[in-house]
Every structure is written in C-alpha cells, then in structure tokens.
C-alpha cells in the first residue's frame, strides 16, 4: 500500500488566515452600522464651517441663470435665518401654542381623536408606563413627546397607515427621563386612540 504524505500548513499561516477572516467580518459589521450626531439644526441655505469651498473642492456655480423660484427660495431661507437670529427658531419648541393644548386628565386612561392635536399630560409618565396605540388612517401616524419647556424628546410611534401597537416610555431615548414628558403631539389623518 502506498501512502501519500499529508501536507499541513505552517502554524503561523492558519493563524494569519483566521485573523484576516476576523478583520474582514469586523470591517463589514462596522461599515453596515449606523451612527449619528446630535447638534443644533442649521437653517437651509446657510454655509457651515468646513464647507466644500473651504476644503479645496471644486464647486459648480451653475450658469448664473437663477429662476425667480430659486430667488424666492433663497429669500425664504434668509427670512428663516433672520428668525433664528431673533431667537424665534421655527424648529424649536412646541409645534402649536401651548394655550391650544387639550388636557389629558389624570383620571382618564384613554385618549382618542381624529387628525392632529397637542395634549398636555395631567399625569406623570414613568419608565414603566406603556401606552397602547391605534390608528385607522392611511397616512402618517406620529406621536411626539415634549417637555414642559417645549423641548422635543422622542417619538412614541412613527408609522404609516393602519396601526395597532404599544410603546413603553422607558424604551425611548430620552435624556431627561420619562418623567420630564409634559406634552404629546399627535399627527394623524384618521381616527386614533392612546391608552395607558
């Protein structure tokens, strides 16, 4: 009987291949991850520090023939920037005046309505508070939470169409905690309910 020698790679080669595979998998996971940064919103049309022109990139300035619509859009952006300078940034605060808010009483466990509205909580949510949500419309169903000072926190739901589900305050990314929520702003195109 003839025996053929079995070839074994040197020990270092197997370790190098394993390290390459691990590095490839780590790179793939890192590239598919999602990251974001929190910062102050910038009005559209304002140039930020470190723009493409400052970085030495070529910028196509166009042919110089701006339409009236482009000029109107630029004027609107300038007006928004002026409002931001005056301390009335349209992106900050409650979406409607707080005096228009309806009260969600502490002795009521259900809230229902149609369309959009702002609701002031007469009760204090905790991390354990779970709300049951329904929506019968065909478009966006969004419920945003706000603090007493009008600071926007997290969304309890952001879905499209008919929806039935729940949201736990403790699962939402809120820096100030669930107890800081004072308002809920509902945007919907159909009938909705919120139960706690």
**For 64, which DSSP code?**
S
Q: Give the pLDDT score at 193.
A: 97
Question: CB 91: neighbour CB atoms within 10 A?
Answer: 12
Counting Cα atoms < 13 Å in the Cβ hemisphere of 102 gives: 10
Q: Identify whether 22 is part of a domain.
A: no
Which tokens sit at 93? 């605060």
- CA separation for the pair 103, 156 (Å, rounded): 18
Structure tokens at 24: 């490839």
At residue 20, the pLDDT reads 57
Residues 6+ apart with CB under 8 A from 136: 162, 190, 191, 192
Between 20 and 27, where is the model more confident? 20
List pLDDT tens digits, range 55-109: 444 444 444 444 455 555 555 544 544 444 344 444 458 999 999 999 999 999 9
In the chain, what percentage of residues exceed pLDDT 70?
Answer: 53
**pLDDT for the residue numbered 8:** 55
Whole-angstrom distance, CA of residue 145 vs CA of residue 124: 12
pLDDT band, residue 34 (cuts 50/70/90): very low
The verdict on residue 80 lying in a domain is no
The answer to the question of residue 78 being in a domain is no
Residue 147, in any domain of the structure: yes
The residue-averaged pLDDT of 113-125 equals 95
Question: What is this structure's pTM?
Answer: 0.55
Q: What is the mean pLDDT of the chain?
A: 73
DSSP string, 123-155: S---TT-EEEEEE--SSEEEEEEEETT--EEEE
Q: What is the pLDDT of residue 93?
A: 85
Q: What is the CATH number of the domain that holds 161?
A: 2.60.120.380
State CA 137 to chain mean position distance.
22
Q: What is the pLDDT of residue 14?
A: 54
Domain of 160, in residue numbers: 98-195
pLDDT in tens, 135-148: 999 999 999 999 99
| pLDDT surpassing 60 at residue 18 | no
| Total domains in the fold of the chain | 1
Residue 34 domain-assigned?
no
User: What would the mean pLDDT of 36-53 be, rounded to a whole number?
Assistant: 46
Q: Is residue 53 part of a domain?
A: no
What's the CA gap between 111 and 169, in Å, rounded?
17
Tell me if 152 is assigned to some domain: yes
Please write the tens of the pLDDT for every residue from 171-187: 998 888 899 999 999 99
Mean of the pLDDT values across residues 191-195? Answer: 97
Asked, for residue 48, whether it belongs to a domain, the answer is no
């Amino acid at each position: 009987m003839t025996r053929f020698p079995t070839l074994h790679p040197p020990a270092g080669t197997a370790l190098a291949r394993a390290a390459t595979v691990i590095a490839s998998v780590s790179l793939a996971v890192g590239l598919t991850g999602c990251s974001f940064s929190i910062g102050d919103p910038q009005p559209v049309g304002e140039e930020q520090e470190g723009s493409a022109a400052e970085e030495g990139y070529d910028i196509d300035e166009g042919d110089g023939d701006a339409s009236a619509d482009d000029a109107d859009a630029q004027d609107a952006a300038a007006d928004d920037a002026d409002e931001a300078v005056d301390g009335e940034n349209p992106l900050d605060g409650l979406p409607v005046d707080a005096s228009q808010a309806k009260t969600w009483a502490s002795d009521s466990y259900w809230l229902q309505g149609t369309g959009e509205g702002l609701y002031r909580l007469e009760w204090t949510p905790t991390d354990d508070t779970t709300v049951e949500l329904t929506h019968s419309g065909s478009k966006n169903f969004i419920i945003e939470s706000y603090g007493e000072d009008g600071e926007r926190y997290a969304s309890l739901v952001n879905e499209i169409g008919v929806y039935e589900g729940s949201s736990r305050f403790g699962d939402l990314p809120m820096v100030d905690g669930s107890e800081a929520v004072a308002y809920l702003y509902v945007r919907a195109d159909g009938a909705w309910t919120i139960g706690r």
